[in-house]
Amino acid sequence: MQTYFEHMIQAAYEQRASDIYLLPEQGRYQIKFHNGSQPIGYRIISSQLADQLFSFLKFKAQMNIAENRRPQVGSMIMAFGQENLSLRVSTVGNFANKETMVIRILYDQSFHELSWLIDQQFDQLEKAIPQQGLVVVAGPTGSGKTSTIHQLLNKQSDRKMILTIEDPVEIRDEKIVQLQVNNEANMSYLDLIKVALRHHPDILLIGEIRDAQTAQAAVQASLSGHLVFSTLHANSSLGVISRLLEMNVNPVLLKDVMRLAVYQRLLPRNDGHQAALADWQFFTDGWDQSAPAFTSKWKENLDDAYHHSWISKEVYEAYLKIAS
């Protein structure tokens, strides 16, 4: 089973997959990879082989092998080539006691460096980062939000004290202080934010704004004069404001700290690789909720990419549509 799993990881690595899914389907199991844009079918296996694989991975991830109904989360380290991959394993059973497993693959820093659809766009984004306040990178799961923030942090890590709070730590970087949420050890996002502020970092990364408490904590940290980065699920850069207000963030305080909201997607290029495309808005003096959700730059960059045949017509039209 060890060899079988190693082959699976090798195939996932070659596809630059961030997640491996093991899904029950009509008496069998389907294995799929997700690389940020779409699921990729890998293999269909028997339920018997799936049961063996589940038991093997649960044992390696220090999970309860006998439990197949309640959700479980575990982790393991796997030697792979010249590096060690961190794998985060989660399972849950359905109504028929058939489990689903998701394996998140946490690569090293170099793997996570994104290509950009418009070469100069990352440099432009880097120059847009303020000295203090709140910067939020938004987008759906697998859109490269964390990778973009870590690329930005990496540019400043030699001259600034950077501290991150993540769940889990997805991109390991020895040049910054990285803390990982552990609720069982009473190390929640809120607990670690309090600890982080006592360390007086120049830059603080709060891995994800998930709820009202985390949103309010991010705002409070920004009010203390820090530069705070975080991620959020929103449908546009302007949509970041709406999501934070829905989480009961005080609009007056949000106006004081909100500086930059970025919306990002990973687009499939014609050469078979993926590339990031971003749209951002500044909020130095509040916001206008009646303004367009996307800036004109989104369409201009898509036009440029399509004109140079970097993306297909289908991709061009699909990503143009989300801004309409």
Q: Which amino acid is at 203?
A: I
> Taken in order 4, 142, 249, 220, is the CA torsion positive or negative?
positive
The C-alpha angle with vertex 110 and arms to 109 and 112, in degrees rounded to 5, equals 70
Indicate the CATH number of 110-162+200-321 among 3.30.750.210, 3.40.50.300, 3.10.105.10, 3.40.50.1000.
3.40.50.300
Locate CATH 3.40.50.300 in the chain: 110-162+200-321
Residue 111 structure tokens: 């793997």
The pair of three-digit structure tokens given for residue 247, joined into one six-digit string: 């989480």
pLDDT in tens, 187-226: 888 888 888 888 889 999 998 998 998 999 899 999 988 9
Per residue in 266-309, pLDDT tens? 999 999 888 999 999 999 888 888 889 999 999 999 999 999 99
Looking at the chain, list the stretches that DSSP marks H as alpha helix, in order from N- to C-terminal side: 2-14, 47-60, 121-128, 145-154, 189-198, 212-223, 239-246, 251-257, 296-307, 313-321
Checking if the pLDDT of 84 tops 90, the result is no
Calculate the CA 271 to chain-centre distance.
24
Return the number of other C-beta atoms located less than 10 Å from residue 48's C-beta. 10
Distance CA 123, CA 255 (A): 26
Write out pLDDT tens, residues 20-55.
Answer: 999 999 899 999 998 766 788 999 999 999 999 999
Nearest alpha carbon to residue 258 among 249, 266, 267: 249
Band of residue 108 on the pLDDT scale cut at 50, 70, 90: low
pLDDT of residue 69: 82
Strand partners, 268: 274
Give the whole-angstrom CA distance, residue 193 versus residue 190: 5
- Residue 95 Cα to chain centre, angstroms: 29
Q: Evaluate whether the domain defined by 2-107 bears CATH number 3.30.450.90.
A: yes
Q: Provide the b/e sequence for 178-207 (b: ≥16 CB within 10 Å).
A: bbebeeeeebbbebbbeebbeeebebbbbb
Q: How far apart are CA 35 and CA 113, in angstroms?
A: 14
Helix (H, G, I), strand (E, B), or coil: what is residue 11? helix
Check whether 110 has a pLDDT greater than 80: no
Domain span(s) for CATH 3.30.450.90 in the chain: 2-107
Lowest mean pLDDT among 33-37, 129-133, 226-230: 33-37
Q: What percent of the chain has pLDDT over 90?
A: 62
